[in-house]
Structure 1
Amino acid sequence: MTRSTKTFQDWSYEETIEKIEATVTRLEQGDLPLSAVLNEFENAVQQIRQCEDFLQTCQKQADLLIETLEDC
C-alpha cells in the first residue's frame, strides 16, 4: 500500500524534508562506508516518494476544492 492510499495524520512533510536534508549532509561529508551510503540513499529515496505522494494528494484536494468553487 502506498502512502497516497493512507492518511497522513501521523506523518509530517516538514520533518521528512529535514531527514532528507540531514541524509544529504551525511552523504556529502563522505565519511560513511559504502554499505551505509547505499542504506542512507535508499531511505532518502523512500522519503522522497512519501513527499511526492503527499504533494500529489494535496494537489488533488486543492483541485477538487477549486472545482467545487467554480461550480457555485
Structure 2
Amino acid sequence: MIKRKNPANSDALTGWNYEDKVAEIEQIITRIETGELELEEVFAQFTTAVENLRQCENFLQQRQQQVDLLIETLNDE
C-alpha cells in the first residue's frame, strides 16, 4: 500500500507542514508566557512565530483559492 501525502496538509517539495507550524507557534507562545526566555530570545522567538503565522496564512489563502476554483468548476458543469 502506497501512502500519499495529503496536499492540504503538507508541501511535498519542501516538507512544510501546516500542523507542524501551528504546533511550533503554540510552543513559542507557551515559552514566552512562562517567562523562561531571556528578553533577546523572546524577540527572536516572536519573530519566528510571526514568520510562521505568515506562512500559515499564505497556505490557507492558497488552499481557499483552490477550493473556490473547484467550486466554480463544479458550478460550470
TM-score of the aligned structures, taking structure 1 as reference length: 0.87
Q: How many residues align?
A: 66
Amino acid at match of 1:8: D
Give the corresponding residue for 2:41.
Answer: 36
Task: Say if 2:11 is the partner of 1:8.
Answer: yes
* Structure 1 gaps, min length 5: 1-6
Structure 1 residues 34-66: Cα deviation after superposition (integer angstroms, max 9, x where no partner): 100000000000000000000000000000000
Amino acid at match of 1:64: L
* Structure 2 gaps, min length 5: 1-9
- Tell me, in whole angstroms, the C-alpha distance in 1 between the residues paired with 2:40 and 2:66: 39
What's the Cα RMSD here? Answer: 1.2
Secondary structure of the corresponding residue to residue 16 of structure 2:
coil
- Tell me, in whole angstroms, the C-alpha distance in 1 between the residues paired with 2:16 and 2:34: 28
- Tell me, in whole angstroms, the C-alpha distance in 1 between the residues paired with 2:24 and 2:74: 36
Task: Say if 2:27 is the partner of 1:27.
Answer: no
Greater helix fraction, Structure 1 or Structure 2: 1
Deviation of residue 8 (structure 1)? 2.5
Give the corresponding residue for 1:64.
Answer: 69
